[in-house]
Amino acid sequence: MLDFVDTVETAVAGIKDGSTVMIGGFGNAGQPFELIDALLDCGATDLTVVNNNAGQGDQGLALLIREGRVRKMICSFPRQSDSWHFDAKYTAGEIELELVPQGNLAERIRAAGAGLGGFFTPTGYGTMLADGKETRIIDGRGHVFETPLSADVALIKALTADRKGNLVYRKTARNFGPIMAAAARHTIVQVSDIVPTGALDPETVVTPGIYVNSIVRVTGRTDSAGTTAGTAEKVA
Amino acid sequence: MSFQSNEKSLTTSDIKRPDIKTADAPLGRNDLARLVAADIAPGSFVNLGIGQPTLVSNYLTEEQDITLHTENGMLGMGPEAHGEDIDGDLINAGKIPVTELPGASYFHHADSFAMMRGGHLDICVLGAFQVSATGDLANWHTGAPGAIPAVGGAMDLATGARDVFVMMTLLTREGASKIVETCTYPLTGVGCVTRVYTDKAVFFTGPQGVTVRETFGCTLEELQDLVPVPLTAAVGP
């Protein structure tokens, strides 16, 4: 079921305490800042968040962490020069961390969306991140079993949606968007533009609308710092 | 371009050299980057890690026609972007704004790592804390108590690329060799490193042990005094 909603607040209103939320973006590219701000305002807490990182600076995911709303982070690269809010919570023992190699994180998300029960990967074999996991030698090479990673909700950012929910992205802001859209039971997308059905060339659609549940238009453009400024607008 | 198997592509032809070369002085970071760049086969698909490996891109020539991969979803990455070219939606794995070259392509994260793990990437160049005699790599975590671990794509790159080149200084600030019998830092990957480019020498690592292709500012004997694993010259039989 696909809904076009007027505001980011309406889009995230159904997110419950204790939910697992996938948040798209790699650093600031593709991070759905306005949806995250709305999640912050809606008060949902005790969240498990899946993202490549654990927030940068004083915006987006970093604020959700600062406010103590994230119980657990599942990510590949939490520690950055400006990840001070995560660093403080982690050092204080106030947030749980599941560290996953980036490609395994992406493939676990993809596996969930593709209905797979997991996969054997050579990545991480023989390292501490494989501790306690099932291993197997396949064609003479060590592999680690990794489980699928699904979510209650995905918050992602795309460039354009059509009225069927088909999405196209922009440059490296695509990153985790397509796989998170497929892995979550409810996918909420913020887009810069909504176009009529038929206006997107079917050959260029990246995420088919079957994976999308809720779309909100957020105007604003990417600035040089990689952040977006803008507000949700009524869909014309 | 030849069709190669998925196996690490270091062959005996790579290490058959009449004599090892010896330069007068240790190599600086830029000279080392130039050397790595010159060793990359034309037409290769390459991922350059964050930090020192990024310097390699400064020395790749147009004739080499190298395609750079960045794991956040792009092939055909161009140089760092400046001024008006900066676009927050176009960044590299180090989250630095970059540019796109003609013929570039974008893809999602699972595809990006699938092409790496699937053996389609010819070479990645990474930094390291330690490399073992058999090519184990440690470059992601010091294991220090209280350190916040962050792995990113390091394990995927180390395991996925056909050849893993390491660029590092041979010695730590304290003077200890970073080429070791067994890594004491937490591993990134097992038996994955094929070459190590350092300021004092170029090494081949693998099941055959450590061989030396060339030295900079020292003899093989002097090098052996610094490195706690047996070294042999990488010369043909």
Residue B186 · residue A128 · CB < 8 Å = yes
Residue spans per domain, chain B: 12-58+119-233
Look at the block and give the residue holding tokens 């050397």: B35
The closest of B56, B51, B101, B59 to B78, measured between CA atoms, is B101
- Provide the sign of the torsion angle of the four alpha carbons A184, A185, A190, A194, taken in this order: positive
* ipTM value for the complex: 0.92
Of all residues in chain A, the percent with pLDDT exceeding 90 is 91
With CB atoms and an 8 Å threshold, state whether B153 touches A103.
yes
pLDDT digits (tens, 9 = 90+) for A151-171: 999 999 999 999 999 999 999
Angle, helices B109-117 vs A102-113, to 10°: value is 120
Which residues of chain B neighbour A178 with C-beta distances below 8 Å? Answer: 108
Question: Can B71 be counted among the known catalytic residues?
Answer: yes
- Higher-pLDDT residue of A1, A208: A208
Asked if the model's pLDDT at residue A206 lies above 50, the reply is yes
Q: Look at residue B19 in the predicted model and tell me its pLDDT.
A: 67
Q: Do A192 and A186 touch, CB atoms closer than 8 A?
A: no
Predicted confidence at residue B79, as pLDDT, reads 94
Q: Exposure pattern of A27-64 as b/e (b: 16+ CB <10 Å)?
A: bbbbbbbbbbbbbbebebeebbbbbbbbbbbebbbbbb
Across the interface, do A174 and B151 touch by the CB < 8 Å criterion? no
Closest C-alpha to B45, from B127, B105, B85, B97: B105
* Cβ–Cβ gap A170/B88 under 8 Å: no
Give the C-alpha separation, B119 to B123, whole Å.
10
CA–CA distance, A55 with A36 (Å, rounded to integer): 11
Is B160–A177 a contact, with Cβ atoms under 8 angstroms apart? no
pLDDT score, position B21: 82
Instruction: Select from 3.30.2010.30, 3.40.1080.10, 3.30.1490.390, 2.60.40.10 the CATH code of A3-229.
Output: 3.40.1080.10
Q: Are B96 and B80 in contact (CB under 8 A)?
A: yes
Q: Does the pLDDT value for residue A226 go beyond 80?
A: no
Question: Which residues on A lie below 8 Å from B91 (Cβ)?
Answer: 26-27, 29, 172, 226
Average pLDDT of chain A, as a whole number: 93
pLDDT, average across residues A37-48: 97
Residue A124, chain B, CB below 8 Å: the answer is yes
Find, in chain A, the residue whose alpha carbon is nearest to that of B191.
A126
Work out the average pLDDT over A134-158. Answer: 98
Q: Where are the beta strands (DSSP E) in chain A?
A: 3-5, 20-23, 47-50, 70-75, 96-99, 119-121, 135-138, 141-146, 151-162, 167-168, 184-195, 214-217, 221-222, 228-229
Shortest CA distance to B50 belongs to which of B133, B148, B123, B152?
B152
What is the pLDDT confidence band of residue A236, given thresholds at 50, 70 and 90? very low
Tally the residues of chain A. 236
Per residue in B175-201, is it b (16+ CB within 10 Å) or e — as a string?
eebbbbeebebbbbbbbbbbbbbbbbb
CATH number for the domain running over B12-58+119-233: 3.40.1080.10
- Are B108 and A174 in contact (CB < 8 Å)? yes
Q: Is B155's CB within 8 Å of A179's CB?
A: no
Backbone torsions φ then ψ of B221, nearest 5 degrees: -65, -45
Task: Please answer whether residues A9 and A38 qualify as being in contact, where contact means their C-beta atoms are separated by less than 8 angstroms.
Answer: yes
Give contacts of B190 with chain A, Cβ < 8 Å.
Answer: 125-127, 142
**B9 vs A145 pLDDT, higher one:** A145
Query: Model confidence at A1, in pLDDT bands (50, 70, 90)?
Result: confident
Q: Is B153 on the interface with A (CB under 8 A)?
A: yes
Distance from CA of A52 to the nearest CA of B (A): 8
Q: pLDDT tens digits for A86-134?
A: 999 999 999 999 999 999 999 999 999 999 999 999 999 999 999 999 9
What parts of chain B have a pLDDT lower than 50? 1-2, 4-18, 236-237
A-chain residue closest to B95, CA distance: A27
* Residue A157 touches partner B, C-beta closer than 8 Å: no
Locate the chain B residue with the closest alpha carbon to A207.
Answer: B108
Q: Which of B72, B77, B185 to mutate to test the interface with A (most CBs of A within 10 A)?
A: B72
